[in-house]
């Protein structure tokens, strides 16, 4: 992630209209666009932030993608959780270096990558994903951004049927019926452990909160995150006209009275 751009790395090419293309640098590679061809050799060995030109003279800014940029550009199987919610999830679920996490479903792996970065090499994520094609897609996305040396084990299985990892610190869910996981999370989490669920509709939240109220979990909270960009251009300093109106709700709870 530092130093001159190297073969095998992903870079983001940004054109004058701020359109983005993510490519992987290859020896002898070429990037073809309607605005001409770009030789990868112009970027390999160069620092980030340079501007290069296609054969037809179009300027492209070359930058390494941040995690946020990568998850928005990477190939998707399932819909990803957006960066506006990924950051708050780390805080709400208090993800720490060394944490042991059960994550389900894994989907495209956007949340997985975010959690992996926060837990570092001493943590561990077990991911339960019901679809083997999504599990493969997620593994490939994680590898493309973080490499193969990551503490991640993605298993193809249904989390509604149970959690087979003892003594975990966090259960992080992005699936339609998380109330089926509350009982399994009670049994698998260490005391004080945190349960977090991302849900798109408030009726799902309501069902989950009722199930949590009837469990050993307490201190439940539900929030949504609103993110409004601003246009800052000379005298025109105002909120953007458009914003993403809705993604999902975040519900968090802590294991207070573990059974036994
Ligand atoms: N958070 C992911 C996206 C997850 S999409 C990301 O940021 O990329 C929801 C995923 O849950 C889908 O891949 C779906 O196949 C999976 N899923 C749904 N029900 C499940 C279950 N019972 N057990 C495991 N995975 C499940």
CA of 31 to the centre of ligand 1 (A): 33
Here the tokens at position 55 are 């054969």
Residue nearest to atom 13 of ligand 1 (CA): 107
Burial label, 220 (beta-carbon count in 10 A; 0-12, 13-18, 19+): middle
Q: Hey, is 104 helix, strand or coil? A: strand
Structure-token pair, residue 194:
């945190």
Alpha-carbon span 37 to 125, nearest angstrom: 41
User: How far is ligand 1, taken at its centre, from the CA of residue 221, in Å?
Assistant: 22
- Is the CB of residue 134 below 6 angstroms from any atom belonging to ligand 1? yes
- What does pLDDT average to over the chain? 96
10-65 CATH fold: Vcp-like ATPase; Chain A, domain 2 (3.10.330)
In the predicted model, is pLDDT for residue 251 greater than 60? yes
Closest C-alpha to ligand 1, atom 11: 105
Name the helix (H) or strand (E) containing 252.
strand 249-255
- Residue 111 and residue 75: Cα distance in Å, rounded? 14
Segments making up each domain of the chain, as ranges: 10-65, 69-255
The whole-model pTM stands at 0.96
- State if residue 31 touches ligand 1 by the CB under 6 angstroms criterion: no
69-255: CATH number: 3.40.50.150
Q: 207 near 179, Cβ under 8 Å? A: yes
Q: Report which protein residue has its CA nearest ligand 1's atom 14.
A: 105
Q: Is 199 in the pocket of ligand 1 (CB under 6 A)?
A: no
Q: Which token pair is 168?
A: 């975990």
* C-beta of 215 in contact with ligand 1 (< 6 A): no
Assess whether the C-beta atom of 109 lies below 6 angstroms from ligand 1.
yes
pLDDT at 259: 52
Residues 72-110: pLDDT tens digits? Answer: 999 998 899 999 999 999 999 999 999 999 999 999 999
H/E segment holding residue 83: helix 83-92
CA distances from 124 to 91, 102, 146, 183, 246 (A): 18, 9, 14, 22, 31
Residue 258: the pLDDT is: 57
List the structure tokens of 216: 């050993």
**Per-residue pLDDT at 12:** 97
Q: What is the pLDDT of residues 116-145, one digit of tens each?
A: 999 999 999 999 999 999 999 999 999 999
Element (H, E) at 88: helix 83-92
With b for 16 or more beta-carbon neighbours within 10 A and e for fewer, the 159-195 pattern comes to: beeebebeebbbbbbbbeebbbbbebbbebbeeebbb
**CA 105–ligand 1 middle distance (angstroms):** 3
Which residue, by CA, sits nearest to atom 2 of ligand 1?
107
Percent of the chain with pLDDT over 70: 99
Residue 246 has pLDDT above 60, yes or no: yes
User: For residue 111, which atom of ligand 1 is closest to its CA?
Assistant: 7
């Amino acid at each position: 992630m530092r130093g001159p751009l190297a073969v095998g790395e992903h870079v983001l090419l940004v054109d004058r209209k701020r359109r983005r293309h993510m490519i992987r640098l290859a020896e002898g590679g070429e990037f073809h666009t309607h605005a001409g061809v770009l030789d990868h050799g112009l970027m390999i060995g160069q620092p980030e932030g340079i501007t290069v030109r296609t054969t037809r003279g179009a300027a492209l800014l070359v930058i390494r993608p941040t995690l946020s940029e990568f998850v928005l550009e990477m190939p998707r199987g399932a819909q990803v959780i957006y960066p506006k919610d990924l950051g708050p999830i780390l805080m709400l679920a208090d993800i720490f270096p060394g944490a042991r996490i059960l994550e389900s479903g894994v989907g495209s792996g956007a949340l997985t990558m975010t959690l992996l970065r926060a837990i570092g090499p001493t943590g561990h994520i077990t991911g339960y994903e019901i679809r083997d094609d999504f599990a493969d897609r997620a593994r490939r996305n994680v590898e493309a951004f973080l490499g193969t040396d990551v503490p991640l084990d993605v298993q193809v299985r249904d989390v509604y049927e149970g959690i087979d990892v003892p003594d975990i610190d966090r259960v992080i869910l992005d699936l339609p019926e998380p109330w089926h996981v509350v009982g399994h999370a009670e049994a698998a989490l260490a005391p004080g452990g945190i349960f977090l669920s991302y849900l798109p509709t408030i009726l799902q939240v309501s069902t989950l909160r009722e199930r949590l109220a009837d469990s050993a979990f307490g201190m439940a909270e539900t929030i949504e995150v609103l993110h409004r960009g601003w246009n800052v251009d000379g005298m025109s300093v105002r909120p953007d006209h458009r914003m993403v109106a809705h993604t999902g709700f975040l519900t968090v709870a802590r294991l207070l009275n573990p059974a036994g």
